Amino acid sequence: MKAAMKNNLTVLTTVATMSALLAGCSNNPTHATACSLPDGPNLERAISAARFDLETGCEHEFDGYFQRLLTIAEGDPKKENKASFSDFLLWANDAGLLSKAQARQTYNRYFGIKYVSLVSDYSVCAQTCPHQSDVMRDMNRELADKEQGLLKISADRLNYTRASNLYQETELVLEATCEACGPIE
């Protein structure tokens, strides 16, 4: 009697394990398909697809999706693209994928004139000058992102030129200011 009961328990355990495994297997293919980056030339469609995927388990791939959307948008540069990316980032914030600060920094890195690389809390002498070359290198990278966002995606030559001029002016003024601040103590 005891042996029969033990056998039944073993069978039940095996069945339960198999069911769990099968259920897991049936979920996996869906997960893999959902995380394939959007394709095609239509930005709005790509954004919809990205939003769906990011809501259904692919949030860890956010950066990859965002970069793909940027690439797709380059195929059809227009001013309206800015609004599309703004909406997408606001949605990402609402969906809990990005903090407000991250959304703001990402948007401005690509579509703003000001440099998020220059965000700081302390004086130029105290905080920026000790890392002047790093700051300029970061700004230079950001300028490349602005070229993509403003020029190649939004066809906004005017604001890209302003961002580019701001880079040159900042470089000059920082050089003079850091020289005036004196050696780092």
Interface with other proteins, residue 66, by CB under 8 A: no
Which amino acid does the sequence have at 86?
Answer: S
CB nearer to other proteins: pick between 23 and 176: 176
- Going by the DSSP 8-state scheme, the letter that residue 119 receives in this structure is -
Is residue 2 within a helix (H) or strand (E), and if so which, with residue range? Answer: helix 2-34
Footprint on residues 91-120 left by other proteins (CB under 8 A):
103-104, 107-108, 111-116, 118-120
> 184: Cβ–Cβ under 8 A, 6 or more apart, which residues?
129, 130
> 114: Cβ–Cβ under 8 A, 6 or more apart, which residues?
108, 166
Interface with other proteins, residue 170, by CB under 8 A: yes
CB nearer to other proteins: pick between 30 and 168: 168
Interface with other proteins by CB under 8 A: which residues?
Answer: 79-80, 82-83, 86, 89-90, 103-104, 107-108, 111-116, 118-125, 127-129, 135, 156-159, 161-162, 164-166, 168-170, 172-182
